[in-house]
Structures are given as C-alpha cells and as structure tokens.
Amino acid sequence: MRHVISALVINEPGVLANVAGMFAARGFNIDSLVVGRTENPELSRMTIVVHGDDNTIEQVRKQLAKLVPVVKVRDFTGLSYVERDLVLVTIGVGPDKRNEVIEIVNLFRGHVVDVARNSLMVQLAGTEDKLEAMLELLRPYGIKEMARTGVIAMTRGNQNSRDEAEAKATTTKRTRSKTAPTGPSLPPS
C-alpha cells in the first residue's frame, strides 16, 4: 500500500542523511523524498512516499519519530490531504507533430515552457496519476529528457494548524546535543 508520510524536522545539517539512512538500514525503498522550508525558518517539511503494509509503515513512522531532529511525523493514510508532483519533460518533436503534443499538454492543463526546432519542453503539476497519464500519451512522440520533483503534500483545512502549533511547542525541546552521536555512527536498530 502507498503511504505519504510528512515529517517536520529541525533545520540543521545531516537531517536528510539521518532520515534516508534510517530507511535504508531497514531495507525500505523510498519512492519519493522531498524536503523544503516551511513558514518557520527553524523547521523544514519532508514528504516521503513509500510502499508497505500498515504494520511495517507504523514501525517506520515510530523509528522516524525517535530521531532527534524530527519534531512531528504524520502518515496521511485516512486523512484528507492535497498532494502535488511537478514534471518537466522534453519531447523530441518536429513542427509537423508539434500541435498534437500541445493539444495533449493543454488537455492536462500543462504548459509549454520552451520551444526549439525539434523539441518542446512542457511542465505539468498534479498528482502522480495525472503526470503518469500525460507521460503515457507523450511517449510515442519521443521523450528525450525528464525531471520530476517528487510528491509534496499537506493536510486539508485546520488539520494543518494543529500540527504547526504542536511543532512550535516542541521545537525548543528537541535539539541535538553537542555530544550526541550522528546517525552513521549508531548501530542499526
């Protein structure tokens, strides 16, 4: 089962490596991992997409919450949330097929962001399913290059404000000790 997990983390060097290392030590493949700043300069939000059964993901969520720089962990399963992914894709297409590609892109509410003699670069934001559907239609035209951001997600409505209040209250309590060992020096648990 697909799980989207959000983690508010303290903005400090090594946090990404610690989180990725925790997943790797337990043999989990991360489908998507995105980190970005929040409105609070002391915190960043990690959005992690993984596949696994509920029991396994619950163990991962608990292990993630134990990491010192992690302030709050939330699995969005069963919650109302919004997710987005962004893709830039260059399609090798000459002037004779250009209008067909532009029509497909417009159907998905995408945008042409660059035009060259024998290629178009398009941008599309949406759910993973939406991006995959457009890419499937564009493949016959010849995808030359592609870059994706990965999934970002946030809960809908006032579910978000409760999390932020809890995170702000916890931020000052959870700081790394100057003598605490870093993730790589710890044995796997």
pLDDT at residue 165 tops 90: no
Question: pTM for this structure?
Answer: 0.74
φ, ψ dihedrals at 111, nearest 5°: -135, 140
- Dist CA 162 CA 88 (whole Å): 34
**Bridge partners, 69 (sequence order):** none
Look-up of token digits 């302030």: 71
159 — pLDDT class (breaks 50, 70, 90): low
The structure tokens listed for 120 are: 């178009």
Query: In sequence order, which ranges of the chain are alpha helices (DSSP H)?
Result: 15-25, 54-66, 98-107, 128-138, 159-171
Report the C-alpha gap between 123 and 145 in whole angstroms: 12
For residues 117-128, average pLDDT: 96
**Domain 2-80+156-185 bears CATH identifier 2.40.40.20:** no
Q: Sketch the domain layout of the chain as residue ranges.
A: 2-80+156-185, 83-148
CA dist 116 → 11, 90, 93 (Å): 40, 10, 9
* 142, two tokens: 């010849």
What's domain 83-148's architecture?
2-Layer Sandwich (3.30)
- Cβ neighbours for 136, distance < 8 A, ≥ 6 positions apart: none
Percent of the chain with pLDDT over 70: 84
pLDDT at 170: 47
- Name residue, tokens 């700081």: 175
- Percent of all residues in the chain with a pLDDT value above 90, rounded to a whole number: 58
Q: What is the pLDDT of residues 14-71, one digit of tens each?
A: 899 988 888 888 888 889 999 999 999 999 999 999 988 888 888 888 888 888 789 9
Q: Predicted confidence band at 119 (pLDDT cuts at 50, 70, 90)?
A: very high
Place of tokens 């029991």: 55
In CATH terms, are 2-80+156-185 and 83-148 the same topology?
yes
Task: Please compute the mean of the pLDDT values over residues 159-163 and round it to a whole number.
Answer: 54
CA–CA gap between residue 168 and residue 63 (Å, rounded): 21
Res. 87 pLDDT band, cuts 50 70 90 = very high
Q: Which amino acid is at 103?
A: E
